Structure 1
Amino acid sequence: MSKESKTKEQLLEEEARLRQRIAELEMLEAEHRIIEDELRQSKRELSIRNEIISIFLTTPDDEMYAKVLRVILKHTESQYGFFGYIDQEGNLVCPSLTRDIWDQCQVPHKNFIFPHEQWGGLWGQSLKEKKTLYSNKPLPVPEGHVPILKTLIVPIIHGTKLIGLLAVANKAEDYTPQDQTMLETIADHIAPVLHARLQRDRQEAERQRSEEKLRESEAKYSALVEQAKDGVVIVQDEVFKFANKAMETLSGYSVEELIGKSCLDIVAPEHRDFVAQRHRLRLQGLPVPASYEIKMLDKNGAKKEVEVSVGLINYQGKPAITAFIRDISERKRMEEELLKIQKLESLGILAGGIAHDFNNLLAVTIGNLSLLELEISGYGDTASELLEAIKTASYQAKRLTQQLLTFARGGAPIRKVVYVSNLLKDAVNFALSGSRVKCELIIPDDLWPAEIDEGQISQAIDNIIINAEQAMPAGGLIRVWAENVTVEPTLSLPLKRGEYVKISIQDQGVGIPEENLPKIFDPYFTTKQKGAGLGLSIAYSIIKKHCGYIGVESELGVGSVFHIYLPATREKISTAPSGGVSEEKFCCGWGKILLMDDQEMIRNMAGQMLTRLGYRVEFASHGEEAIRLFRQAKESKDPFCAVILDLTIPGGMGGKETIQKLREIDPEVRAIASSGYSNDPIMTEYQKYGFKGIVSKPYEIKELSEVLHKVIMGNEGPAQTFG
């Protein structure tokens, strides 16, 4: 090979190497340009990310979304856009709509908040499908909306959860995949920061809601505590740390005086150890009852019954006791009243039975005495005096029986309208007859009448005056005064609202010890060696049965005053004469009388009376027998002109059931109720049960004759008499 040929070949090889090297250099240059482009893109993305993160970290909420949107619009070269987030209710909230869009948009009722059901168009599709969408064609928009010529929409997703949306529109050039990648990258950078921001905002909102609820709860609790009628206190180290206004009324101390004061200072001495022990046990976490009753000592030294409900709390970082204190003095007094009533009712059952049997014996005695009085007429003064002495003793026994009957269950007073002033004068004169005690009686002229059982109320007042007289064995003065009062609920009396006559009886005796006051009206309670303990309890029972009230105030060494409240009436008292036959004459009769009584002695005695009065008599010992005799007489055309029915037949049909059966046979039956229970409700309202009259055991021939004449004859014709 020639030298020339060799040189040419070498040149070609060198050229090829140069070309290869140039190609390699060009490839390196292209790679370098790509790297430079990628580096510039990375630097751009890093700059955008840092700028956005800086905005998130340093900008207030009301500016943050708008600043982020401006950064995005600048880097995407877009005219319009919005940046929104998904709230807790699932709505899209857009606090950063481009100002131009908002100003130019003429859509009616435009809003920043879009509920899920309003997610529409391309942006709604992007949200629902959680994917990027873009279009370089004009989009349909509502009338008045700014035109959207091109748009790029990227959802912001944290993990798998949709938390927001980026949307840009109207770039001068078309949106490209590079724009999509850039906006998706921005969305990826925003996602964790936005999620943290939303979580913080939600936690802050929840905290604010909790604080608001706490403030509302504290305000409500404070209002409840301050408006509560019960006292509310917080006690720490046995010292008051808090007290509400109600404690001022309850204790007599102001709130300022209570704070810092020992809680034991307002506890009665006899209960202080008990309260202190309860506090210690509770603070030690030991089980103790949550409520208890004690006596409280107010500022004036007066004792009050209170119920204390206690709980353990943390107060200013230390254990403390909160207590609700309720005044139960009135409730306790009511309970004592109820207990007295229950005692009296129990005694009444026993007393009623004794009185009934005793009255039956007295009925025989007094009835036969009235017959004997007719027989010995003309036997001289000695016989009459002896008979009168027996009658006096018998009527004293009758009065004692009447006192026992006052206790009987169901013994309703037989009421009529009475001038209380006259009754008081008579009662005082009777009770103090022959006494060394003087009486000052003060009665206003306008004192209201009362609808009462005159005999029972006289007995009650007699008992109280006699009790006052016995409290002053060396003599003294009893003051009795009466007044008209109107009772309101604020007076704390166990009475219905209304008008009452108030009677006060004051003595100058030794007074009643405080420990005895709750028992003063108990049956058989007495401080006198020879006392029976029935006088005041009888008075108490009578007043209660009249729907009234009796109370007592007393001071040792000064005396006692009893207060009686009787329901008043404005009804006028009839002054028409009662008429009737003279006291010395008995009303004769004729015809046949049916007498029903379980006691043979009473049947015999009453039979003699009826025979002496001119009647024929048939007897029955129980209701079934009386019904049979009544029906036979009716069928035989020789009916009874009247029947006398004993209301109480032990083990058999009494008068109440019998009259119902007799009225079925003859609706016009003339029936008279008779009972040893003179205060029996049937005796009080006998007409309601179908009776035409009543006669209480024991009775005399004169009383029986008048009742029979009134029932049989009514007001027709004068009575035929003898005697």
Structure 2
Amino acid sequence: MTSLNRFSNPTIEKRQLDPVKLEKLIDLQSEILGATVTNTNYQDLLKQVCLFAEELVPNAVASIMLLDEHKNQMFVQTAPSVPEDAINDLNGLSVGDGSCGNAVFHNDDMYVCNTLTDTRWEDLQDIAKKYQLHACWSSPIRNSENKAIGSFAISSFAKRTPDNFQRRLLNSCASIAGIIIQRENTLNVQRADHKILMDSQYQYRCLVDNSADEIYLHDDTGNILDANQMACNRLGYTHDELLSMNISDIKTSTSKHASVKTFAESLKLDKTYTIYGTHQSKNGKKYPVETRIRRYTTNDKTLIVALARDITDRKKTEEEMARASKLESVGLLAGGIAHDFNNMLGIIQGYIDLASRSRHSPEKTEKHLAKATRAALQAAELTQQLLTFAKGGDPIKQAANIVEIIHQSTDFSLHGSNIKVNFSRLCTDDIWPANIDSGQISQVIQNLVINARQSMSEGGQLDITYENCVMTEAENSEITQHEKRIKITIKDTGTGIPQNIIGSIFDPYFTTKQQGSGLGLALCYSIITKHNGAITVDSTPGHGTCFTLYLPASNEHAATSSTVTSANANTTNARILIMDDDEMLREVTEAMLQNLGYSVTLSADGDSAFAQYQKAMNTKNPIDLVIMDLTIPNGIGGKEAIKLIQQIDPHVNGLVSSGYCNDPVMANHNDYGFVGAIKKPYSQDELGEAVNAILNNPIKADLGRALE
């Protein structure tokens, strides 16, 4: 075989060049380096370096070998004009053998001009003879740390010594190969990093999209920047649709964009908050959510991450908890309540009997009846507290006198006990009105007082304090700073709570009582949280427990009532329809209204009331006001009846009446078509006040038109 034909590349025409023309070498260097910028395939670039070298050194082939540090051996990386069997023979070359092995070992140029006599090739004689390699020049390829990582070699088929140009060519090609390899290694690291990043992003996206919670990213004005698959599934919007929406478009409890921005600015950076609200899907379905939000900044932009959890099932569980807790608490209080209620009935019956026996002494009769009335009012208050205690669901918040609620709830819960209670106001100003659902907060106070009572079975002292409080980080980090709160503490001298369980006392069904359900404190925590408040506990075993509540203050005044004892002169001829299923209550209400100078018509249910109202419309004496009981067993109650009457008279004056004062209709009567509400039981003065307020209200017609 001929060595040239065996190793030569048929696609490359060998041309003799003048080696002294160094400009040609410079041009080639520039050309190859320029190619490294545009060509991303480093194998092609290394091949091009070898072919350029072969053009400049006739009757020779060029090759690049790289070091495997783990094996301490060298392997051919590129040799475009070397046949496959020769490459296989060269692979695995030991460091220190041949020109290339020595170039790497010594990190220096190696010029072997006669392979058959040079000792550096003594272990490679078979390869030299087999492929007629008579000379081999090799220069180390170095990395950025100047460490040899391979070699660039020119193998000649004739014995020859390199001239200065060929030496320079050899060094230049080795340097260029080093640049190309280093560039590829850098790109490989970048590719690996990019793959890791892409894998991480993919994994993150999988985690986000497979989350059971809705996840949103929005800016400080509420514009949605990203959302996960669960958000799309629950709301019924596509991802693109959500990205064109504002967070207030799905939160029925969130104000529009300006308020969203104000709220976002009130959040501390990198602090997690929990809020409660309602989401509305594309088809209009609403569902309750617990949302954990966190504000952070990036590139001078404020972003909000929100994780919203559907708590429909949890709310059902909480309602069950509330019912069970009430049964437990009512069982404890039943004896004392029954005792007090019987006492009140005895007082009422006794004074009425005395009044009937002293009819010849008007002064005594009036005195006895006044005391019977006072006892009846006390019985009504006790009944109202029982109704309040039984109330659950979402809070219906309005401005309320929290001090009055604290006193009433505490007295209610301590019936028949030997507990001494002290009330203290810790600020000089009057206590602010609280923005609360009075019934639910009353239940919280009752539960905490009952717990204190049970922990002091042998008697003790209960200290209850209340004060106005502007929140600070030191006061409570869970509530936004500078918000106005009423701070309430309930401290007993009971057995206390062991430190190893104090962190679990608000967990549902956690109890240390033999007959307890473990729901009372969980219910307290749920109610306070729904009020955007906070509850904390501090206890020392053997010395008692102190619960601290933070309730939101209201900017409005707590509701008060004034007494009106007679009808206004402008309304004495008004005609009033009373709808109530209780005959005795209809009769006593009729008597009260007649005493006030009104004309009265009676009805037992909604159907009858509608018929009488419609009939009176066609007479000269139409009905001016309807007083409707909210609940009619086995019949149409006030909520439905007012809608029927509005169909024939959109301007009807409706006054809703019920003993369930915490019913949403009572709290938001305007939303249901009524213009006023009065709770049972009521006195003649209270009834007169409510009736006069409606009949003398100049805007009632506008309200009626608004409901058309």
What TM-score bracket applies, with the shorter chain setting the length? Answer: 0.3 to 0.5
TM-score if structure 1 supplies the norm length?
Answer: 0.47
TM-score if structure 2 supplies the norm length?
Answer: 0.47
Larger relative contact order, structure 1 or 2 (CA cutoff 8 Å, min sep 6): 1
Please tell me whether Structure 1 or Structure 2 has the larger radius of gyration of its CA atoms.
Answer: 1
